[in-house]
C-alpha cells in the first residue's frame, strides 16, 4: 500500500467528535483482485456507535444555526479536497472494492458532484406564505433540519453513496453518522480525513467502522437522538432496518434492490442500444442497484442485437482494476461468485442457453467472465433476483404490451431502460413502466441534478436534485395571529 501520494489518507480507525478513535479489536481489509491485506482497521462496538451519535447530537445546534451559505462553504472545501485527491481516493477505492481505476476515479468525481450540488441547494431552501382565512393572521411555512441523521452504506459505491447522503444532510443543517460497509471502510475514512481538513466542525460528520453490522445498525435505527435514518442496500435488510426505526418513528429513506429491465424495440438504433447496455450492465462488473438485470428484445431483432452484443462483449478486458485499460474488475467476494454461478446453472437447467462466459477466469479468482444467456424467461430465478454480476440475461417479446407487462412483472421498481425512436412509443412506455427512474435511449441515469430513487420494494425517498433536501428537512407551519388593530 505504498502507492498513495498522500499516505495520511489511509486511516485505521473510526472518526467521531473530530478525533480518530481506537478500539480493542481490529479487522483486515483485503483487495478482491488478489486477496492481499491493504489495511487493518479498529473494529468499533455498539457503545462506540452511541458515542458517535452523542457527538452528532452535541454538534447539531451549532451546525443547524449556521447560515446556509456558511455550511455551503464547508461542503465546497470538502468537494475541492476530494477532487484534489481524486487519484489517491480512486486508487484506495479500487484496492478495496475492485472496480477499474478509471471507474473508481469517476466515482470520486460523482461523489464530489453531490457535495457541490447540495452546497448550492443549501442556499435555496425556500419557505412559503399562505393566504390566511382572516386578516388578523399570517400563515408562514419554514423548513428546518430534521436533526441527527444516521446512515448505512454499501460496498459497491464506497465513496459516492456516503457523499450523496452526507452532502444533503449537512447542507440541510443536520449532523451525520455513517456506518460504511465493512468490506470497504477505507474510502469512508479517507473522506473523514478530508472533511477534517475542510474544517467541518467536530461531530458534524462521523464514521463508525465495524464488523458488527447488527449491533451498530441497532444503535443507528433505535437511538432516540437519531431523527432520520438512510440506507442503501438490499431489500431484505432494508425492511428489517425500517421495522427497527418504527419504534422511535424516525424519518426513513431506503434505496434498495433493483431488477432493471432493458427493453430494445424493433425501431431502436441497435448500435446505440448495445452501447447503452454495455454501460448499464457492466458498470462495476454488474454490481450496482441500477444495473440492467433483464434484457428484453423484440423477437424480430433479437438475432441481430445478440450478434452485435457478443461482438462488444468479446472486446471487454477483465483483470486487476489497477492495470491499464481494464473494463471489468473482480466481484467483491467468493459469495458473490457463488451466487452468480448458482443463478446461471439454475437458469441453464430451466432451459436458458449459455452463449459465452458462465464461469470464473480461474478456479479461485473472483474475476467472473462476462456472460450471455439466451432463452431466459421471466419466471427463472435469474430474472427475478438481482444478479449483481456481469451476466446478460436475454428474453424476447412479441409486442409493446407484452414488453411492458414483462418489464413490470417484478416486486422491484428502481431503474428501467428502453430504446426506441418512435416518439409515441417513448411516451407510452415511459409512463407505463413502474420504476422510479427510466433511461430512454440512455444506459446511465445517475447524476446529482436528478432524483435518484425507486418505487415498489426498491424503497422510498429521493437522493440528489432539488427534491433531495426534502428528506432531511421538516416543514414547520407558523400561524401568526393577533394582527388586527
Ligand atoms: C447503487 O448501485 O446503489 C447506486 C448506483 C448509482 O448511484 O448510480
Burial of residue 293 (CB within 10 Å: 0-12, 13-18, 19+) is buried
Q: Which residues line ligand 1 (CB under 6 A)?
A: 156-157, 232, 255, 288-290, 446, 452
Q: Which mutation among 452, 454, 461, 465 tests ligand 1's pocket best, with the greatest number of atoms within 8 A of CB? A: 452
In this structure, the answer to whether residues 369 and 470 fall within a common structural domain is: no
Claim to verify: residue 396 and residue 265 sit in the same structural domain: yes
Percent over 70 (pLDDT), the chain: 100
The domain in which residue 301 lies consists of 260-448
- Say if 398 falls within a structural domain: yes
Using most ligand atoms within 8 A of CB, pick from 110, 113, 161, 286 the residue to mutate for ligand 1: 161
Alpha carbon distance 335, 438 (integer Å):
30
Q: Do the domain assignments include residue 308?
A: yes
Determine, yes or no, domain membership for 484.
no
- 243 and 295 fall within a common domain: no
* Confidence label for 2 from pLDDT (cuts 50, 70 and 90): low
In terms of domains, do 310 and 240 share one?
Answer: no
**Tally: H helices and E strands in the chain:** 14, 20
| Residue 285 shares a structural domain with residue 139 | no
pLDDT > 60? residue 163: yes
Cell of 324: 491499464
The answer to whether position 14 is within a domain reads: yes
| 191 and 116, same domain (yes or no) | yes
Q: What is the pLDDT of residues 387-400, one digit of tens each?
A: 999 999 999 999 99
Going by the DSSP 8-state scheme, the letter that residue 13 receives in this structure is S
* DSSP β-bridge partners for residue 452: 463
Residue 50's Cβ-side half-sphere holds a number of Cα atoms within 13 Å equal to 8
Residues 241 and 271 placed together within one structural domain of the fold: no
417 domain-assigned: yes
| Total tally of structural domains belonging to the chain | 2
> Can you name the residues that pair with 28 across neighbouring β-strands?
40
For residues 160 and 295, membership in a common domain is answered with: no
Using one digit for the tens of pLDDT, what is the confidence trace for 278-317?
Answer: 999 999 999 999 999 999 999 999 999 999 999 999 999 9
Atom of ligand 1 nearest to the CA of 232: 3
My answer on whether 92 and 182 are in the same domain is yes
**Closest atom of ligand 1 to CA, residue 291:** 2
DSSP 317-332: -BS-TTSTT--B---S
Both 348 and 471 in one domain: the answer is no
Report if residue 482 sits inside a domain.
no
Residues forming the active site: 255, 289
* Mean pLDDT across 449-477: 98
- Same domain assignment for residues 288 and 435: yes
Q: Within a domain: residue 108?
A: yes
pLDDT of residue 436: 98
Domain assignment present for residue 453? The answer is: no
Q: What is the pLDDT of residues 358-368, one digit of tens each?
A: 999 998 899 99
Q: Cα angle vertex 184, ends 183, 186, to 5°?
A: 135
Mean pLDDT within 456-467: 98
Per-residue model confidence (pLDDT) at position 3: 86
Q: Are 22 and 320 in contact (CB under 8 A)?
A: no
CATH of the domain at 162: 3.40.605.10
49 backbone φψ class: left, alpha, beta (φ>0; ψ -120 to 50): alpha
Specify whether 12 is located in the same domain as 86.
yes
Tell me the CA–centroid distance for residue 256 and ligand 1, in Å: 10
Query: What's the pTM?
Result: 0.97
CATH code where residue 426 lies: 3.40.309.10
Return d(Cα 403, Cα 336) in angstroms, integer: 29
Grid coordinates given for 195: 472533511
Question: Is residue 177 within a helix (H) or strand (E), and if so which, with residue range?
Answer: strand 175-179
Read off the C-alpha cell for 441: 435511449
> 1 pLDDT band (50/70/90 cuts)?
low
Q: Is the pLDDT of residue 120 over 90?
A: yes
Rounded to an integer, the average pLDDT of 470-481 is 97
Mean pLDDT of the chain: 97
In degrees and rounded to multiples of 5, residue 106 shows phi and psi of -60, -40
Rounded-to-integer distance, Cα 293 and Cα 280, Å: 9
Amino acid at each position: 500500500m505504498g502507492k498513495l501520494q498522500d499516505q495520511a489518507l489511509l486511516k485505521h480507525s473510526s472518526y467521531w467528535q473530530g478525533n480518530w478513535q481506537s478500539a480493542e479489536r481490529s479487522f483486515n481489509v483485503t483487495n478482491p483482485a488478489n486477496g492481499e491485506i491493504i489495511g487493518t482497521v479498529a473494529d468499533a462496538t455498539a457503545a462506540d456507535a452511541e458515542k458517535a451519535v452523542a457527538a452528532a447530537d452535541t454538534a447539531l445546534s451549532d451546525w443547524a444555526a449556521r447560515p446556509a451559505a456558511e455550511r455551503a462553504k464547508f461542503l465546497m472545501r470538502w468537494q475541492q479536497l476530494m477532487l484534489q485527491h481524486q487519484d489517491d481516493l480512486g486508487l484506495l477505492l479500487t484496492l478495496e472494492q475492485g472496480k477499474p481505476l478509471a471507474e473508481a476515479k469517476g466515482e470520486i468525481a460523482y461523489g464530489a458532484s453531490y457535495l457541490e450540488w447540495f452546497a448550492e441547494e443549501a442556499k435555496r431552501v425556500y419557505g412559503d406564505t399562505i393566504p390566511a382565512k382572516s386578516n388578523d393572521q399570517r400563515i408562514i411555512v419554514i423548513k428546518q433540519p430534521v436533526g441527527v441523521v444516521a446512515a448505512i452504506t454499501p460496498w459497491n459505491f464506497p465513496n459516492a453513496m456516503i457523499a450523496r447522503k452526507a452532502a444533503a444532510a449537512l447542507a440541510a443543517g443536520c449532523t451525520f453518522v455513517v456506518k460504511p460497509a465493512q468490506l470497504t471502510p477505507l474510502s469512508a475514512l479517507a473522506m473523514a480525513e478530508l472533511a477534517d481538513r475542510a474544517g467541518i466542525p467536530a461531530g458534524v460528520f462521523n464514521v463508525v467502522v465495524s464488523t458488527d453490522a447488527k449491533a451498530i445498525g441497532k444503535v443507528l435505527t433505535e437511538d432516540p437522538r437519531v431523527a432520520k435514518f438512510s440506507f442503501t442496500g438490499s431489500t431484505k435488510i432494508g425492511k428489517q432496518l425500517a421495522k427497527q426505526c418504527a419504534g422511535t418513528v424516525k424519518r426513513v429513506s431506503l434505496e434498495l434492490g433493483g431488477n432493471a429491465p432493458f427493453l430494445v424495440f424493433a425501431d431502436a438504433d441497435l448500435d446505440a442500444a448495445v452501447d447503452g447496455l454495455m454501460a448499464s450492465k457492466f458498470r462495476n462488473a454488474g454490481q450496482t442497484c441500477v444495473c440492467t438485470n433483464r434484457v428484453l428484445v423484440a423477437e424480430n431483432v433479437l438475432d441481430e442485437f445478440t450478434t452485435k452484443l457478443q461482438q462488444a462483449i468479446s472486446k471487454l478486458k477483465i483483470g486487476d482494476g489497477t492495470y491499464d485499460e481494464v473494463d471489468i474488475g473482480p466481484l467483491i467476494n467468493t459469495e458473490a461468485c457463488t451466487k452468480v454461478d448458482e443463478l446461471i446453472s439454475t437458469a441453464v437447467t430451466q432451459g436458458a442457453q449459455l452463449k459465452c462466459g458462465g464461469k470464473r477466469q480461474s478456479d479461485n479468482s473472483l474475476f467472473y467472465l462476462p456472460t450471455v444467456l439466451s432463452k431466459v424467461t421471466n419466471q427463472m430465478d435469474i430474472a427475478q433476483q438481482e444478479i449483481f454480476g456481469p451476466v446478460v440475461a436475454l428474453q424476447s417479446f412479441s409486442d409493446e404490451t407484452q414488453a411492458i407487462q414483462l418489464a413490470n412483472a417484478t416486486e422491484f421498481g428502481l431503474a428501467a431502460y428502453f430504446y426506441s425512436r418512435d416518439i409515441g412509443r417513448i411516451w407510452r412506455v415511459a409512463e407505463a413502466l413502474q420504476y422510479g427512474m427510466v433511461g430512454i435511449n440512455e444506459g446511465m441515469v445517475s447524476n446529482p441534478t436528478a432524483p435518484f430513487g425507486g418505487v415498489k420494494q426498491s424503497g422510498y425517498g429521493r437522493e440528489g436534485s432539488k427534491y433531495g433536501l426534502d428528506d432531511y428537512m421538516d416543514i414547520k407551519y407558523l400561524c401568526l395571529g393577533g394582527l388586527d388593530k
